[in-house]
Amino acid sequence: EKNTFNPSKRPRKEPIKCPGDDSWTLLSQGAEARVWKVPKPASDEKYIIIKERFSKAYRHPTLDERLTKQRCRMEGRLLEKCRQQGTLENHVPKVLKVDSPLLYLQYIEGKTVKQFINDAIVGSENTNGDDPSVSLEHLLTKIANEMGRLIGTLHKEGVIHGDLTTSNILIVEHATSDAREDGAAFVLYLIDFGLAKPLNQQKQGKNSSNISNANIEEKAVDLYVLERALQSTHPQLAPSFWTTLEKAYVLALEQPSVGVEQCQTLKRLEQVRQRGRKRECFG
Protein backbone atom coordinates (compact mmCIF):
# COMPACT_ATOMS: atom_id res chain seq x y z
CA GLU A 1 0.00 0.00 0.00
CA LYS A 2 1.36 3.42 -0.95
CA ASN A 3 2.52 5.59 1.93
CA THR A 4 0.31 8.68 1.91
CA PHE A 5 1.89 10.42 4.92
CA ASN A 6 2.09 14.16 4.31
CA PRO A 7 3.82 16.08 7.13
CA SER A 8 2.38 19.38 5.96
CA LYS A 9 -1.15 18.12 6.62
CA ARG A 10 -0.44 16.57 9.98
CA PRO A 11 -1.76 18.70 12.88
CA ARG A 12 0.75 19.64 15.55
CA LYS A 13 -0.02 17.95 18.84
CA GLU A 14 -1.71 20.22 21.35
CA PRO A 15 -0.32 20.60 24.88
CA ILE A 16 -1.14 17.71 27.19
CA LYS A 17 -2.72 20.15 29.63
CA CYS A 18 -6.50 19.86 29.83
CA PRO A 19 -8.37 22.87 28.38
CA GLY A 20 -9.46 25.25 31.08
CA ASP A 21 -7.08 23.80 33.68
CA ASP A 22 -5.51 26.91 35.15
CA SER A 23 -3.57 24.99 37.80
CA TRP A 24 -0.87 24.13 35.24
CA THR A 25 1.63 26.97 34.78
CA LEU A 26 3.80 27.02 31.66
CA LEU A 27 7.34 27.88 32.79
CA SER A 28 9.12 27.59 29.46
CA GLN A 29 8.88 26.17 25.98
CA GLY A 30 11.78 25.24 23.75
CA ALA A 31 12.25 23.44 20.46
CA GLU A 32 11.73 20.02 22.02
CA ALA A 33 9.48 20.38 25.05
CA ARG A 34 7.20 22.41 27.29
CA VAL A 35 7.91 22.65 31.02
CA TRP A 36 4.91 22.88 33.35
CA LYS A 37 4.67 23.69 37.05
CA VAL A 38 1.84 21.58 38.45
CA PRO A 39 0.30 21.49 41.96
CA LYS A 40 0.75 18.26 43.88
CA PRO A 41 -2.09 17.99 46.41
CA ALA A 42 -1.86 15.89 49.56
CA SER A 43 1.92 15.92 49.53
CA ASP A 44 4.82 17.50 51.42
CA GLU A 45 5.92 19.07 48.13
CA LYS A 46 3.49 21.68 46.82
CA TYR A 47 4.50 21.37 43.19
CA ILE A 48 6.10 19.07 40.67
CA ILE A 49 7.53 19.70 37.23
CA ILE A 50 6.08 17.98 34.19
CA LYS A 51 8.26 18.12 31.10
CA GLU A 52 6.22 17.42 27.98
CA ARG A 53 8.02 16.45 24.81
CA PHE A 54 5.74 17.35 21.93
CA SER A 55 5.48 15.70 18.55
CA LYS A 56 7.14 17.12 15.46
CA ALA A 57 4.89 17.61 12.44
CA TYR A 58 7.69 16.88 9.94
CA ARG A 59 8.35 13.37 11.33
CA HIS A 60 6.44 10.23 10.48
CA PRO A 61 4.10 9.42 13.42
CA THR A 62 5.70 6.02 14.12
CA LEU A 63 9.24 7.42 14.07
CA ASP A 64 8.16 10.43 16.09
CA GLU A 65 6.64 8.28 18.81
CA ARG A 66 9.73 6.05 19.00
CA LEU A 67 12.19 8.96 19.16
CA THR A 68 10.12 10.77 21.78
CA LYS A 69 9.98 7.67 23.96
CA GLN A 70 13.72 7.01 23.59
CA ARG A 71 14.71 10.57 24.46
CA CYS A 72 12.30 10.79 27.37
CA ARG A 73 13.67 7.56 28.85
CA MET A 74 17.27 8.60 28.22
CA GLU A 75 16.77 11.88 30.06
CA GLY A 76 15.23 10.05 33.01
CA ARG A 77 18.03 7.47 33.10
CA LEU A 78 20.79 10.07 33.04
CA LEU A 79 19.18 12.08 35.83
CA GLU A 80 18.91 8.88 37.88
CA LYS A 81 22.55 8.07 37.11
CA CYS A 82 23.60 11.49 38.40
CA ARG A 83 21.57 11.09 41.59
CA GLN A 84 23.08 7.66 42.25
CA GLN A 85 26.48 9.35 42.47
CA GLY A 86 26.82 10.83 45.94
CA THR A 87 28.54 13.96 44.68
CA LEU A 88 25.64 14.86 42.37
CA GLU A 89 22.69 13.58 44.38
CA ASN A 90 21.66 17.03 45.56
CA HIS A 91 22.50 18.87 42.36
CA VAL A 92 19.94 17.48 39.90
CA PRO A 93 16.16 17.10 40.28
CA LYS A 94 14.62 13.79 41.33
CA VAL A 95 12.85 11.75 38.68
CA LEU A 96 9.37 10.98 39.99
CA LYS A 97 7.96 9.17 36.97
CA VAL A 98 8.68 8.54 33.28
CA ASP A 99 5.59 8.18 31.14
CA SER A 100 6.45 9.22 27.58
CA PRO A 101 5.95 11.89 26.36
CA LEU A 102 5.89 13.15 29.95
CA LEU A 103 8.71 13.30 32.48
CA TYR A 104 7.70 14.02 36.08
CA LEU A 105 10.40 15.79 38.10
CA GLN A 106 11.01 17.35 41.49
CA TYR A 107 10.17 21.04 41.62
CA ILE A 108 13.10 23.17 42.77
CA GLU A 109 12.36 26.64 44.08
CA GLY A 110 15.07 28.97 42.85
CA LYS A 111 16.29 31.36 40.18
CA THR A 112 18.27 30.50 37.10
CA VAL A 113 21.92 31.53 37.35
CA LYS A 114 21.22 33.82 34.39
CA GLN A 115 18.56 35.72 36.32
CA PHE A 116 20.59 35.66 39.54
CA ILE A 117 23.70 37.16 37.93
CA ASN A 118 21.69 39.83 36.13
CA ASP A 119 19.85 40.75 39.34
CA ALA A 120 23.13 40.85 41.28
CA ILE A 121 24.72 43.20 38.73
CA VAL A 122 21.72 45.52 38.77
CA GLY A 123 21.65 45.41 42.56
CA SER A 124 25.33 46.33 42.82
CA GLU A 125 24.74 49.35 40.62
CA ASN A 126 22.00 50.58 42.94
CA THR A 127 23.89 50.22 46.24
CA ASN A 128 26.96 51.79 47.76
CA GLY A 129 27.86 48.96 50.13
CA ASP A 130 31.56 48.43 50.78
CA ASP A 131 31.35 45.09 52.58
CA PRO A 132 33.72 42.74 50.66
CA SER A 133 31.92 39.65 51.95
CA VAL A 134 28.86 40.55 49.93
CA SER A 135 30.57 42.36 47.08
CA LEU A 136 29.62 41.49 43.51
CA GLU A 137 33.12 40.25 42.69
CA HIS A 138 33.14 37.98 45.71
CA LEU A 139 29.72 36.56 44.82
CA LEU A 140 30.57 35.95 41.16
CA THR A 141 33.79 34.19 42.14
CA LYS A 142 31.82 31.78 44.31
CA ILE A 143 29.31 31.14 41.53
CA ALA A 144 32.09 30.49 39.00
CA ASN A 145 33.80 28.13 41.43
CA GLU A 146 30.59 26.20 42.06
CA MET A 147 29.76 25.99 38.36
CA GLY A 148 33.21 24.63 37.52
CA ARG A 149 33.04 22.10 40.33
CA LEU A 150 29.58 20.93 39.32
CA ILE A 151 30.37 20.54 35.62
CA GLY A 152 33.68 18.83 36.37
CA THR A 153 31.87 16.36 38.62
CA LEU A 154 29.27 15.71 35.93
CA HIS A 155 31.96 14.92 33.37
CA LYS A 156 33.88 12.81 35.85
CA GLU A 157 30.75 10.69 36.33
CA GLY A 158 30.50 10.13 32.58
CA VAL A 159 27.65 12.45 31.54
CA ILE A 160 27.63 15.19 28.90
CA HIS A 161 24.93 17.79 29.45
CA GLY A 162 24.71 19.02 25.86
CA ASP A 163 23.16 22.43 26.59
CA LEU A 164 25.16 24.13 29.32
CA THR A 165 23.89 27.67 29.77
CA THR A 166 23.16 29.83 32.80
CA SER A 167 19.46 29.28 32.00
CA ASN A 168 19.91 25.56 32.65
CA ILE A 169 21.48 25.95 36.09
CA LEU A 170 19.32 26.85 39.08
CA ILE A 171 20.65 28.57 42.18
CA VAL A 172 18.94 27.97 45.53
CA GLU A 173 19.95 30.39 48.26
CA HIS A 174 20.20 29.40 51.93
CA ALA A 175 20.10 31.45 55.07
CA THR A 176 23.54 32.47 56.34
CA SER A 177 23.21 30.03 59.22
CA ASP A 178 22.71 27.17 56.72
CA ALA A 179 25.80 27.91 54.67
CA ARG A 180 27.98 24.94 53.78
CA GLU A 181 31.38 24.30 55.34
CA ASP A 182 33.11 25.98 52.40
CA GLY A 183 31.11 29.15 53.08
CA ALA A 184 28.81 28.95 50.06
CA ALA A 185 25.31 30.10 50.98
CA PHE A 186 23.71 28.54 47.91
CA VAL A 187 23.41 25.27 45.99
CA LEU A 188 23.45 24.87 42.21
CA TYR A 189 21.21 22.44 40.32
CA LEU A 190 21.69 21.32 36.75
CA ILE A 191 18.40 21.06 34.84
CA ASP A 192 17.16 20.26 31.33
CA PHE A 193 19.00 17.07 30.37
CA GLY A 194 17.06 16.84 27.12
CA LEU A 195 20.26 16.83 25.02
CA ALA A 196 22.38 14.95 27.55
CA LYS A 197 24.18 11.71 26.73
CA PRO A 198 26.52 9.28 28.46
CA LEU A 199 30.20 9.20 27.66
CA ASN A 200 31.52 6.07 25.96
CA GLN A 201 32.76 3.49 28.42
CA GLN A 202 36.51 2.97 28.16
CA LYS A 203 37.75 -0.61 27.98
CA GLN A 204 41.19 -2.05 27.48
CA GLY A 205 41.82 -2.82 23.83
CA LYS A 206 42.84 -1.43 20.49
CA ASN A 207 39.95 1.07 20.42
CA SER A 208 40.49 2.43 23.94
CA SER A 209 42.53 5.42 22.72
CA ASN A 210 39.84 6.34 20.18
CA ILE A 211 37.16 6.22 22.87
CA SER A 212 39.28 8.34 25.20
CA ASN A 213 39.87 10.89 22.45
CA ALA A 214 36.15 11.04 21.65
CA ASN A 215 35.29 11.57 25.32
CA ILE A 216 37.77 14.44 25.63
CA GLU A 217 36.18 16.03 22.56
CA GLU A 218 32.67 15.68 24.02
CA LYS A 219 33.73 17.33 27.29
CA ALA A 220 35.51 20.16 25.48
CA VAL A 221 32.48 20.89 23.29
CA ASP A 222 30.26 20.89 26.40
CA LEU A 223 32.53 23.55 27.94
CA TYR A 224 32.64 25.50 24.68
CA VAL A 225 28.84 25.71 24.59
CA LEU A 226 28.90 27.15 28.12
CA GLU A 227 31.70 29.60 27.31
CA ARG A 228 29.83 30.94 24.28
CA ALA A 229 26.63 31.20 26.32
CA LEU A 230 28.44 33.25 28.98
CA GLN A 231 29.95 35.55 26.36
CA SER A 232 26.61 36.24 24.70
CA THR A 233 24.37 36.35 27.79
CA HIS A 234 26.76 37.95 30.30
CA PRO A 235 29.27 40.07 28.34
CA GLN A 236 29.88 42.17 31.45
CA LEU A 237 31.56 39.29 33.31
CA ALA A 238 35.29 39.69 33.85
CA PRO A 239 37.72 37.13 32.29
CA SER A 240 38.50 35.98 35.82
CA PHE A 241 35.04 34.35 35.96
CA TRP A 242 36.02 31.78 33.32
CA THR A 243 39.51 31.33 34.79
CA THR A 244 38.00 30.52 38.19
CA LEU A 245 35.53 28.13 36.57
CA GLU A 246 38.33 26.30 34.74
CA LYS A 247 40.39 25.84 37.90
CA ALA A 248 37.42 24.43 39.80
CA TYR A 249 36.62 22.16 36.85
CA VAL A 250 40.11 20.62 36.91
CA LEU A 251 39.96 20.11 40.68
CA ALA A 252 36.59 18.35 40.34
CA LEU A 253 38.16 15.95 37.84
CA GLU A 254 40.59 15.08 40.64
CA GLN A 255 43.53 16.31 38.62
CA PRO A 256 45.01 18.94 40.95
CA SER A 257 48.56 17.86 40.14
CA VAL A 258 47.90 18.27 36.41
CA GLY A 259 46.95 21.93 36.47
CA VAL A 260 44.85 23.92 34.05
CA GLU A 261 47.58 24.11 31.41
CA GLN A 262 47.99 20.33 31.21
CA CYS A 263 44.34 19.28 31.44
CA GLN A 264 43.56 17.36 28.24
CA THR A 265 39.97 18.60 28.10
CA LEU A 266 41.03 22.26 28.35
CA LYS A 267 43.74 21.70 25.73
CA ARG A 268 41.07 20.31 23.43
CA LEU A 269 38.81 23.23 24.28
CA GLU A 270 41.33 25.58 22.67
CA GLN A 271 41.16 23.51 19.47
CA VAL A 272 37.36 23.67 19.55
CA ARG A 273 37.57 27.46 19.94
CA GLN A 274 39.80 27.71 16.89
CA ARG A 275 37.36 25.63 14.84
CA GLY A 276 34.53 27.88 16.00
CA ARG A 277 36.40 31.01 14.96
CA LYS A 278 37.07 29.56 11.52
CA ARG A 279 33.37 28.81 11.05
CA GLU A 280 32.53 32.40 12.02
CA CYS A 281 35.06 33.78 9.52
CA PHE A 282 34.46 31.46 6.58
CA GLY A 283 31.00 29.95 7.22
- Using N-to-C axis directions, what is the helix angle for 136-156 and 239-252, rounded to 10°? 40
Q: Is 21 labeled as catalytic in the residue annotation? A: no
DSSP 59-75: S-HHHHHHHHHHHHHHH
| Residues 241-275 as b or e (16 or more Cβ within 10 Å = b) | bbebbbbbbbbbbebeeeeeeebbbbebbeebeee
Query: From the candidates 22, 44, 163, 222, which is the catalytic residue?
Result: 163
Check if the beta carbon of residue 156 is closer than 8 Å to that of residue 178.
Answer: no
Coil, strand or helix: which one is 20? Answer: coil
Question: Cis bond leading into 101, ω under 30°?
Answer: yes
183: left (phi over 0), alpha (psi -120 to 50) or beta: left
By annotation, the residues acting in catalysis are: 163
